[in-house]
A and B are shown apart, each in its own frame.
Chain A
Amino acid sequence: MLTIANTSFSSRLLTGTGKFSTPATMLDALASSGTELVTLALRRLDRRDRDAIFEPLQAAGYRLLPNTSGARTAEEAIQAAQLTREAMGTPWLKLEIHPDPRYLLPDPVETLKAAERLVQLGFIVLPYVHADPVLCKRLEEVGCAAVMPLAAPIGSNQGLVTAPFIDIIIEQSRVPVIVDAGLGAPSQAADAMERGADAVLVNTAIATATHPVAMAAAFKAAVEAGFQARQAGLATPGLRAAASSPLTAFLETGGDSDVG
């Protein structure tokens, strides 16, 4: 079981709710993914274009993880957090502060500042950060419930380009490590899990697939396979061959074959 802030989850796949073609497709894909924790955002209300996804998600029993997307500073993130807690009735928070719209890379200074304050205010803080092992330790020290290092820029589908640093974060962390952003294929999610990530968060790769419901099922299977492989203990890579079959010659007489 994955445990974050004393809450247990059977699924190690967190999913986002953005970019789906319709709310119905989103709900079907979430069901197919087996996820129990889903992200949402908060926006200034447009009364002519209501996005009525909150009630269906709540009715379906998902635990909600609102984000602070749109915040550019710690101060804005703290205000957004207070609004999300009020709107969605949960202290859980995906803290994300990315001032640059081109790469959406998280601001580490503002994120650490906001995380410290939000923990004091009683939020369960899961910060979205670059795959920076030092920053992840600092966030753990100020009381974050998990860390969410990025695999690659949000929505880029580049895969686990930060792998060596994710490995260090996993080795050092005493809170769950959730690899977030940039995972474009189930194999990449499996890779993250095989490396020892506690969970992954996927949105774009599912939502923008040709068949989102089927892709959600593929990610579910990949995350489970990667986790099981990690638990089973992966074999060590080596440069030289190591025979899997006995090297007893039976086609030739006299002397051993060197064919395995």
Chain B
Amino acid sequence: MMIFCNSEGIEVAADATLADALASYLEASEGPTPKGLAVACNGEVVPHPLWSQRHLAEGDRLDLFSAVAGG
């Protein structure tokens, strides 16, 4: 099915979780998910511990944010 990560459409398995989609988007199949990230699914922040439990639906919109340098 098709979901959206930061407005970019990606194809994931029908039973994909948020963690699966993130790994696919980041092409980070090796190793753990990088730290310093936050994800909102359809506008609602999803806490880290729920990423591998949250199943996605067709057309879900993920917004991904990352810690960057700043003052």
Contact = CB atoms under 8 A, between A and B. Distances in A.
Contact of B70 (A47, A67, A181): A67
9 contacts: A17-B71, A40-B68, A53-B67, A54-B66, A54-B67, A84-B38, A86-B39, A86-B48, A88-B67
Given A83-B40, A87-B37, A203-B71, A42 B66 contact: yes
A83 B38 contact: yes
Contact of A40 (B25, B47, B70): B70
A82 B40 CA distance: 10
A52 B34 contact: yes
Interface residues of A, number: 38
A19 B68 contact: no
Given A44-B6, A83-B45, A51 B38 contact: no
Nearest to A82: B45
Interface string A26-70: 100000000000011111111100111111001000000011010
Q: Which of A40, A43, A45 has the most CB of B within 10 A?
A: A45
Interface residues of B, number: 23
B63 to A, nearest CB: 7
B45 A88 contact: no
B36 A26 contact: no
A83 B25 CA distance: 19
A18 interface: yes
A51 B71 contact: no
Contact of B65 (A17, A43, A155, A201): A43
Contacts of A221: none
Contacts of B27: 47
Interface in B1-57: 6, 25-27, 34-40, 45, 47-48
